[in-house]
């Protein structure tokens, strides 16, 4: 089995899976159960001057019958006394010396930061995470994302923290910003040992159409919250890869945002994350999901012949380029496997209305106008008889076919097709060599 | 020992079609994604081996096939056969929460079959074994019989580094998994392939050795650290009525065994009507098998009513769809040879005592099997029905170091019960030697990483 042990700039954990700061890390009893279930580390629920939280505070988007594909919250930082939190951190570290406990912090003045860092480290924290990301409530008080959005302030507070901290410090970034490289570089400038991202995305999740109160409802009113869960993963992956590709970001990154399965985790690692943090998926299913995270990732690493999880880190980041460097001569076309096609014609309607009008059925003439090569006027129905004989003996006459000359190779049909492996995008061989937009501009072509 | 077991293709059972074929990948994904991943799931509780069902299903959905199969095997090493032979309608799927939503329950057996099938194919392809056998612990266990109970016990012991030898009186291992299961669920060669797979993990099987003759249970107890009794049940019992020894009166399991195992065995062309005596699942099985093999008239005569018959309702429903009739409240009295060479079964109505004659070409007795454990183990405690008495958690018998499981302790339940017994006995043996099992799940539902 591949070695999953993780060293995050000095923070050691038996595997890269950490709980993100949030309800799953509210208290010591929870964190201990999480470690028993297999989690390698936990970022404690953000500590600061304890607040009062509202009720209710969560709302979710369900998609196609799947619950909680996106979650929105208006919870602030811890509402429990600091004393209790530190006592529990101490107890956890005593019992689990080999697991990582990172304490998330949010303060205002330099003196306050100094004190809380001291107390967190005295309690046994293996590292600190600075919450510069919370996009609701705390930012109205000048903390959280209002820091993350001001690179100068972010750099200053980071440098204060670095004066006092003796354990590694991670800066947790907000995605609510124009260019993620700006706060990322500010964290490096401030001397941080690592970056974690993303925190939640500013959002209004929906409206109760009976009461016309947006969600979550707090006594007939609502406020904007922070969005997380599976829906935010692509945004997090982009931000992670942008930092990973920037040579000046020379500190490790802890990837967060929508991670629910081992595949999600593997993608974050491949795009440059050194550790993984999970919040929503645990809120949905419990700590037990870590079993498949670990098992699936180690089986994947074994299958890839990788001896250790570190071999995966950043392997895909190097394959992300600027658009201008992509090869304009490369092309693909779809091939439909008539044997497995179920004849739903989702690909046909997608290409007709949302693509480039180059998938046709055998029964109906093409409805689109194609200029000179119009086959709307000259219906091009494929001469060959319908193909497919399914193993069950059913014959489908509505297997569509592709006009490869018209096809732009966008992938849409293969994305909508509900049958795995039925539409394959196949590379078109050519002898023109590689040419990118930037190369064309350099040659004076447009 | 290294010979792979195989069978002749020319067997009657191969003419019957698989009632629940292997899922394709897309079918499996769709079904897996339907599972709600219940917490404290009722399906787990309904599984005698306590497989963590939502966990293995989620792993199918996530594409972690090896992990899915290991989750199954840690609790149920005969996951390949139980996926197909378990009466899931009565067990896991019968308990699935979808039943309460008035929706089709998750097809757990078929998902289990898919996961195990894919994982074993991957294992063959990559040559990377699913399990790592623990280093030798210098313990020896002999197992009597090579049916599901002993195979399960022996396999877990082998995975824990124990030297195991299974003694089987037949020429083939597998017990009723090979000789008894209805072919539309599971064919004999699939059962043998499962045994062949287990042998790779160190099972040593000696076929053609009947314990009790030259080698006795006491001999084995002397030479081993423990002995496991997995002898199942004996021959078909007969009701003890005049004429039951006539030609063309069969015992049900003996007849099923011929359909499954005997190369060249054929039903006579003029076999028109068969009457089956009994009300359990064996009676329904042989009725369905004969009906599916083309016998025009198959009747089951049962001495009580449908409402109280031990055979499963879903099985009886299938039998009826296939043309089988159930005649209630008929107690067999005697069999006579008719003038035309066929047989007459005389029955008496349980309440009215009215007499009925059933003409038949064949009569099949499916009223139970003999219990014989006490005959081969002197001093063994058995209950009034002849079932071996064991401790509920450890499966220890009254004889020191002798454990038992499967049909010989429960009087004839399912394969999955035998597997659970085997695992729990193996677990108890390992613990009794002060060792910690690494490949064997502890008790139903216990879930650990691996
Ligand atoms: C017709 C029929 C259909 C069934 N269908 C199903 C089904 O669909 N699903 C299901 O889950 N269950 C089914 N069952 C039940 C299931 O087959 C049994 O519960 C299960 O096989 C019990 O396993 P076992 O190991 O205890 O016994 P067996 O499978 O009976 O195995 C015992 C083995 O011990 C050997 N043996 C006996 N005495 C000795 C000795 N002295 N020395 C050496 N070897 C010995 C026997 O030859 C045999 O191979 C069916 C049973 C029958 C009869
Ligand atoms: C209810 C709730 C409370 C949260 N509280 C905190 C917090 O106190 N500090 C913090 O840094 N992040 C907090 N987060 C953000 C998460 O740590 C995480 O960055 C975000 O949810 C994205 O990850 P996910 O998609 O796995 O949930 C919270 C998230 C939720 C849903
Ligand atoms: S999830 Fe728990 S805390 Fe939240 S509303 Fe329901 S019961 Fe209350
Ligand atoms: S979407 Fe896929 S299955 Fe449906 S018609 Fe197109 S190719 Fe066939
Ligand atoms: S009860 Fe049904 S839905 Fe729930 S976990 Fe089991 S199989 Fe899945």
Pocket test for ligand 2, best of A279, A284, A285, A290 (most atoms within 8 A of CB): A279
Which chain A residue has the Cα nearest residue B61? A261
Ligand 1 proximal residues by C-beta, below 6 Å: B 85-86, 144-150, 167-170, 175-177, 180-182, 185, 210-212, 230-232, 253, 256, 282, 285, 376, 406-408, 413-416, 418
The predicted pLDDT at position A370 comes to 62
Per-domain boundaries in chain A: 6-319, 323-446
Check A299 against B67: CB less than 8 A apart: yes
Closest ligand (CA of B282) = 1
Which of B28, B32, B66 best probes binding to A when mutated, by most A CB atoms within 10 angstroms?
Answer: B66
Residues with CB under 6 A from ligand 4: A 336, 341-347, 400, 416-417, 419, 422-423
Whether the predicted pLDDT of B113 surpasses 80: yes
A347 tagged catalytic: no
In chain A, the residue whose alpha carbon lies closest to the alpha carbon of B28 is A420
Residues of chain B positioned with their CB less than 8 A from the CB of A291: 55, 447, 449
Closest partner CB to B62 (pick from A262, A286, A302):
A262
Tell me, using a 6 A CB cutoff, whether residue B96 lines ligand 5. yes
Nearest Cα residue to atom 1 of ligand 4: A417
Beta-carbon separation of B449 and A295 below 8 A: yes
Give mean pLDDT, residues B405-420.
Answer: 98
In whole angstroms, how far apart are CA A359 and each of A313, A354, A378, B148, B314?
40, 11, 15, 55, 47
In this structure, what are the phi and psi dihedrals at residue B31, rounded to the nearest 5 degrees? -65, -40
Distance A37 CA to ligand 3 centre (A): 22
**Predicted local distance difference test score (pLDDT) of residue A373:** 55
Residue to substitute in A199, A259, A267, A289 for testing ligand 2 pocket (most ligand atoms within 8 angstroms of CB)? A199
Round to whole Å and give the CA distance between A47 and B302: 73
Return the ligand number nearest the Cα of A79.
2
B96 Cα–ligand 3 center, Å:
25
Ligand 5: which atom is nearest the Cα of residue B37? 5
pLDDT of residue B92: 97
Long-range contact pairs involving A320-325 (C-beta distance under 8 Å, separation at least 24): A320/A241, A320/A245, A320/A271, A322/A438, A323/A437, A324/A436, A324/A437, A324/A438, A324/A441, A325/A436, A325/A437, A325/A438
* B128 contacts A420? CB cut-off 8 A: no
* Per-residue pLDDT at A369: 65
Q: Which ligand is nearest to the CA of A265?
A: 2
Which are the contacts of B450, defined by CB distance < 8 A and separation ≥ 6?
A295, B70, B74, B438, B439
Measured between CA atoms, the residue of chain B closest to residue A298 is B67
- Report CA(A131)–ligand 3 centroid distance (Å): 25
The highest-level CATH class for domain A6-319 is alpha beta
Three-state secondary structure of chain B:
CCCCCCCCCCCHHHHCCCCCCCCCHHHHHHHHHHCCCCCCCHHHHHCCCCCCHHHHHHHHHHCCHHHHHHHHHHHCCCHHHHHHHCCCCCCHHHHCHHHHHCCCCCCHHHHHHHHHHHHHHHHHHHCCCCCCCCCCCCCEEEEECCCHHHHHHHHHHHHCCCEEEEEECCCCCCCHHHHCCCCCCCCHHHHHHHHHHHHCCCCEEEECCCCCCCCCHHHHHHHCCEEEECCCCCCECCCCCCCCCCCCEEEHHHHHHHHHHCCCCCCCCCCCEEEEECCCHHHHHHHHHHHHCCCCEEEEECCCCHHHCCCCHHHHHHHHHCCCEEECCEEEEEEEECCCCCEEEEEEECCCCCEEEEEECEEEECCCECCCHHHHCCCCCECCCCCECCCCCCCECCCCCEEECCHHHHCCCCHHHHHHHHHHHHHHHHHHCCCCCCCCCCCCCCCCCC
The pLDDT score that the predictor gives to residue B448 is 35
Task: Indicate if the alpha-carbon torsion angle A21, A25, A31, A34 is positive or negative.
Answer: negative
Is any atom of ligand 2 closer than 6 Å to the C-beta of A25?
no
- Interface probe for B, chosen from A4, A17, A36, A299 (most Cβ of B below 10 Å), is A299
Across the interface, whether the CB atoms of B67 and A302 are under 8 A apart is answered no
Percent of chain B, pLDDT > 70? 98
- Which chain A residues are Cβ-neighbours of B55 within 8 angstroms? 288, 291-292
Task: Give per-residue pLDDT as tens, B353-377.
Answer: 999 999 999 999 999 999 999 999 9
pLDDT in tens, B203-247: 999 999 999 989 999 999 999 999 999 999 999 999 999 999 999
Q: Is the dihedral of CA B92, B95, B99, B100 positive or negative?
A: negative
Q: Which residue's CA is the nearest one to ligand 5's atom 4? A: B38
Residue in A27, A134, A139, A407 annotated catalytic: A134
Residue in chain A lying closest to B39 (CA) = A285
The atom number, within ligand 5, closest to the CA of B108 reads 7
pLDDT digits (tens, 9 = 90+) for A219-259: 999 999 999 999 999 999 999 999 999 999 999 999 999 99
Q: Is the peptide bond before A56 cis (omega within 30 degrees of 0)?
A: yes
This model of the complex carries an ipTM of 0.74
Which tokens sit at B368?
């139970």
Query: What is the arithmetic mean of pLDDT over B125-140?
Result: 95
Spell out, as residue ranges, where chain A has pLDDT lower than 50. Answer: 376-391, 395
Task: State whether residue B447 sits within 8 Å of chain A by CB.
Answer: yes
pTM score? 0.85
Position A389 scores a pLDDT of 43
A286–B64 C-beta distance less than 8 A: no
Distance from CA of B23 to the nearest CA of A (A): 13
Test A262 with B64 for CB contact under 8 angstroms.
yes
Of residues A285, A299, A420, nearest to B25 (C-beta): A420
- Judge contact between A268 and A297, C-beta under 8 A: no
CATH class of A323-446: alpha beta
Could you give all domains of chain B from N- to C-terminal order, each with its CATH number? 12-126 (1.10.1060.10), 140-234+371-432 (3.50.50.60), 249-365 (3.50.50.60)
Hey, of A15, A288, A392, which one would you mutate to test binding to chain B, going by the most B CBs within 10 A of its CB? A288
pLDDT above 90: residue B69: yes
User: Considering only CB atoms, which chain B residues are within 8 Å of A285?
Assistant: 37
| Ligand 5 pocket residue status of B55, Cβ below 6 Å | no
How far is ligand 3, taken at its centre, from the CA of residue B99, in Å?
A: 27
Atom 2 of ligand 4: nearest residue by CA position: A417
Does the beta-carbon distance from B62 to A263 stay under 8 Å?
Answer: yes
> If contacts are CB pairs under 8 Å, which of residues 118-137 in chain B contact chain A?
126, 128
Distance from CA of B237 to the nearest CA of A (A): 43
DSSP letter, residue A126 = S
């Amino acid at each position: 089995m591949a070695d999953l042990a993780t060293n995050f700039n000095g923070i050691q954990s038996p595997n890269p899976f950490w709980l993100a700061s949030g309800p799953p890390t509210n208290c010591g009893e929870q964190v201990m159960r999480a470690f028993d279930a297999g989690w390698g580390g936990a970022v404690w629920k953000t500590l600061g001057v304890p607040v009062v939280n509202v009720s209710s505070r969560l709302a979710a988007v369900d998609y196609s019958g799947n619950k909680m594909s996106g979650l929105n919250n208006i919870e602030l930082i811890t509402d429990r006394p600091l004393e209790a939190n530190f006592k529990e951190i101490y107890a956890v570290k005593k019992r689990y010396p080999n697991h990582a406990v990172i304490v998330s912090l949010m303060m205002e003045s330099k003196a306050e930061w100094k004190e809380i860092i001291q107390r967190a480290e005295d309690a046994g924290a293996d590292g600190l995470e600075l919450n510069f990301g919370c996009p609701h409530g705390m930012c109205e008080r000048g903390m959280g994302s209002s820091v993350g959005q001001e690179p100068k302030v972010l750099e200053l507070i980071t440098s204060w923290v670095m004066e006092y901290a003796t354990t590694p410090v991670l800066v947790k970034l907000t995605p609510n910003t124009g260019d993620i490289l700006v706060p990322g570089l500010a964290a490096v400038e401030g001397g941080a040992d690592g970056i974690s991202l993303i925190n939640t995305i500013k959002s209004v999740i929906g409206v109760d159409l009976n009461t016309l109160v947006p969600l979550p409802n707090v006594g007939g009113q609502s406020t904007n919250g922070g969005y997380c869960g599976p829906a935010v993963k692509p945004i997090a992956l982009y931000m992670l890869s942008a930092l990973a590709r920037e040579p000046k970001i020379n500190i490790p990154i802890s990837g967060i945002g929508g991670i629910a399965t081992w595949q999600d985790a593997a993608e974050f690692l491949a795009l440059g994350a050194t550790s993984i943090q999970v919040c929503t998926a645990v809120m949905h299913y419990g700590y037990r999901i870590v079993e498949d995270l670990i098992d699936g990732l180690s089986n994947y690493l074994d299958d890839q012949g990788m001896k250790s999880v570190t071999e995966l880190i950043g392997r895909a980041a190097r394959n992300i380029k600027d658009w201008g460097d992509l090869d304009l001569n490369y092309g693909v076309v779809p091939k439909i496997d008539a044997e497995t096609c179920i004849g739903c014609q989702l690909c046909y309607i997608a290409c007709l209305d949302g693509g480039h009008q180059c998938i046709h059925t055998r029964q109906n003439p093409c409805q689109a106008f194609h200029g000179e090569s119009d086959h709307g006027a000259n219906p091009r129905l494929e001469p060959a008889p319908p193909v497919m004989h399914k193993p069950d003996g059913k014959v489908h006459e509505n297997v569509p076919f592709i006009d490869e000359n018209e096809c732009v190779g966008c992938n849409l049909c293969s994305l909508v097709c509900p049958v795995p492996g039925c539409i394959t995008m196949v590379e078109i061989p050519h002898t023109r060599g590689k040419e990118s937009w930037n190369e064309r501009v350099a040659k004076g072509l447009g | 020992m290294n010979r792979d077991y195989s069978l002749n293709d020319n067997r009657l059972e191969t003419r019957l079609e698989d009632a629940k074929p292997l899922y394709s990948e897309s079918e499996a994904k769709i079904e897996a994604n339907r599972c709600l991943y219940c917490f404290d799931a009722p399906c787990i509780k309904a599984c005698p081996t306590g497989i963590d069902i939502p966990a293995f299903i989620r792993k199918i959905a996530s594409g972690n096939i090896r992990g899915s199969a290991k989750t199954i095997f840690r609790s149920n090493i005969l996951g390949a056969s139980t996926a197909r032979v378990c009466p899931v309608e009565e067990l896991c799927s019968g308990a699935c929460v979808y039943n309460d939503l008035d929706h089709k329950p998750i097809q757990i057996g078929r998902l289990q079959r898919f996961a195990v099938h894919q994982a074993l194919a991957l294992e063959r392809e990559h040559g990377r074994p699913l399990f790592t056998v623990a280093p030798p612990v210098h313990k020896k266990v002999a197992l009597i019989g090579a049916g599901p109970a002993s195979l399960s016990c022996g396999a877990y012991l082998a995975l824990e580094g124990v030297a195991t030898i299974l003694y089987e009186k037949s020429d083939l291992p597998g017990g009723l998994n090979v000789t008894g299961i209805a072919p539309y669920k599971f064919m004999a060669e699939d059962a043998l392939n499962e045994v062949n797979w287990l042998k790779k993990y160190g099972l040593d099987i000696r076929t053609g050795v009947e314990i009790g003759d030259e080698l006795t249970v006491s001999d084995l107890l002397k030479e081993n650290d423990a002995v496991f009794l997995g002898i199942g049940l004996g021959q078909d019992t007969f009701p003890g009525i005049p004429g039951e020894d006539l030609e063309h009166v069969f015992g049900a399991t003996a007849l099923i065994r011929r359909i499954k195992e005997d190369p060249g065995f054929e039903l006579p062309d003029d076999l028109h009507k068969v009457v089956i005596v009994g009300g359990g699942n064996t009676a329904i099985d042989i009725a369905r098998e004969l009906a599916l093999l083309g016998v025009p008239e198959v009747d089951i005569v049962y001495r009580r009513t449908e409402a109280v018959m031990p055979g499963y309702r879903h099985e009886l429903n299938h039998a009826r769809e296939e043309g089988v009739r159930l005649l209630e409240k008929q107690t067999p009295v005697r069999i006579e040879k008719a003038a035309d060479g066929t047989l007459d079964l005389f029955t008496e109505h349980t309440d009215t005592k009215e007499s009925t004659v059933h003409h038949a070409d064949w009569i099949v007795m499916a009223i139970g099997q003999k219990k014989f454990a006490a005959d081969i183990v002197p001093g063994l405690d058995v209950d009034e029905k002849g079932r071996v008495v064991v401790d509920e958690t450890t499966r220890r018998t009254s004889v020191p170091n002798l454990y038992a499981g499967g049909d010989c302790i429960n009087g004839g339940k399912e394969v999955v019960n035998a597997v659970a017994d085997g695992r729990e006995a193996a677990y108890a043996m390992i613990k009794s030697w002060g060792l910690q099992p690494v490949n064997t799940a502890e008790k139903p539902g216990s879930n650990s990483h691996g």
